[in-house]
A and B are shown apart, each in its own frame.
Chain A
Amino acid sequence: MSYKESTTPPEGYDVGRENMLDFKIDKQFEMLEQSDSKNFILTTVDEVFNWAKLSSIWPVTFGLACCAIEMIAAGATRYDIDRFGAGAFRPTPRQADLMIVSGTVTGKMARRLKLIYDQMPEPKWVMAMGSCAIGGGPYFKYGYHVVKGVDFIVPVDVYVPGCPPRPEVLLEGLMRLQDKIRGRKGKLITPKWVLDYAQKIPYRK
């Protein structure tokens, strides 16, 4: 039985999520167009600001390793990250909102990465792209120069798994980031299968 056919949502699924994907401001716009007065809408300042922020997330041009090529591919034809308002890759961090850590972070690079993060103006977000940026990836065992996870250095908002992740996965990560900016309510859920799987790895015992 597939997920769509089942009557109860799977464990850990946020039921209210569908309702939160759209803004109240979008509905206000619709009502405005349908109404005769066409005068004003009512909303909160936060919501307008968040709406503006998520519609134009400008990433900084910061390619580190293999994943950078997939980041470029996501920005080029066929995938076209510009559809989500995140296509304006900025050469300088001072104009950017999002840092996509695309690749392996080494000990020598860690300080520079932190510097670039500090140069970005608030509000700013970080996406860890690929297994190396998430946790060292294939360089865990003998990687004397590899930082085992970029979250030792900067706080990470979205983790995009893969080695390297396909551009579709990067776009999915971008949409999850937009959800986050929207102020989607809900708690961080650790799926049960992840905990079970972590227990089953033999060498952990």
Chain B
Amino acid sequence: MEARAIYELLAEKIGDGALGFTEGTGDPVADVAPASIVDACTFLRDDERCDFDMMMCLSGIDWDGYDENGKGKSVSILGYTDLGEPETTERASDGDFGVAYDLYSHRLKHKFTLRVRVTREVASVPTVSGVWETANWHEREAWDLLGIRFAGHPDLRRMLLDESWVGHPLRKDYQMPSEWDAVRLSGRDYAKNPFPPIAPPETPTPPAGDKPAEG
């Protein structure tokens, strides 16, 4: 089925929750209000004409600096300098967060893309992990890397980074850490000293009289 026809079915079902349908460069996209995303997904999975039994991908997006009408973005992300130190900026971040859902039906072999948008202050979307199991991990990853909360998620922990990690790296204003958990993450300044002496790390000292053999 064509994407526009699916969107019309969906708009009939969720009413005001359907915010619009855009076709242009790239895939056609249906914009949905965050409050009705679970209804929309459940409908798309269960309806005979849609039958989306698989969620291919769930992507969190930080729209900070994306100009809908302009020619390219104005924000360049921060990294480490050539000397290995984290870059800093004074810029204040703005812009919404978004989540894109890509669906596929094995039986009918058609695709559909849903997208929701929430403000930076709210940053919370209802979870669809009850609809497709695979959304569970994708949502955890989006929370980990972008800081989008998924309300009602059964197990919203960080996925790739550690629980004690500070910040959400895929945000456009994320500043690189120089250290985490006593592990140095900034680079070595090769320009000052190309081959610095390496201090041996602290190892437990063996009891006296039992010195290890020289390597």
Number of chain B residues close to chain A: CB under 8 A: 32
**For the side of the interface on A, what is the size category?**
35 or more
Whether B198 sits at the interface, judged by CB under 8 Å, is: yes
Report B198 CB to chain A, min CB distance, Å. 5
Report B71 CB to chain A, min CB distance, Å. 24
- Given known pairs A147-B184, A148-B185, the reply for A123 and B212 (CB within 8 Å) is yes
Note all chain A residues with C-beta closer than 8 A to B214.
Answer: 123
- Given known pairs A108-B161, A122-B212, A141-B79, the reply for A148 and B183 (CB within 8 Å) is no
Q: Which of A111, A155, A157 contacts B181 (CB 8 A)?
A: A111
Q: Are A203 and B82 in contact (CB under 8 A)?
A: yes
Note all chain A residues with C-beta closer than 8 A to B191.
Answer: 198, 204
- CA A190 to CA B195, docked complex, whole Å: 8
- CA A156 to CA B161, docked complex, whole Å: 26
Q: Are B194 and A136 in contact (CB under 8 A)?
A: no
Report A194 CB to chain B, min CB distance, Å. 7
Q: Within B169-195, which residues are at the interface with A (CB < 8 Å)? A: 169, 174, 176-177, 180-181, 183-188, 190-191, 194-195
Which residue of the partner chain A has the closest CB to B186? A148
Interface segment out of the listed B3-11, B125-133, B199-207: B199-207
Interface residues, chain B, with chain A CB atoms under 8 Å away: 77, 79-80, 82, 84, 161-162, 169, 174, 176-177, 180-181, 183-188, 190-191, 194-195, 198, 200-201, 203-204, 212-215
Interface residues, chain A, with chain B CB atoms under 8 Å away: 49, 107-108, 110-111, 114, 118, 122-125, 135-136, 140-149, 151-157, 180-181, 190, 194-195, 198, 203-204
Subset of 7 A-B contacts with CB under 8 Å: A122-B215, A142-B176, A143-B80, A151-B198, A152-B183, A153-B201, A204-B191
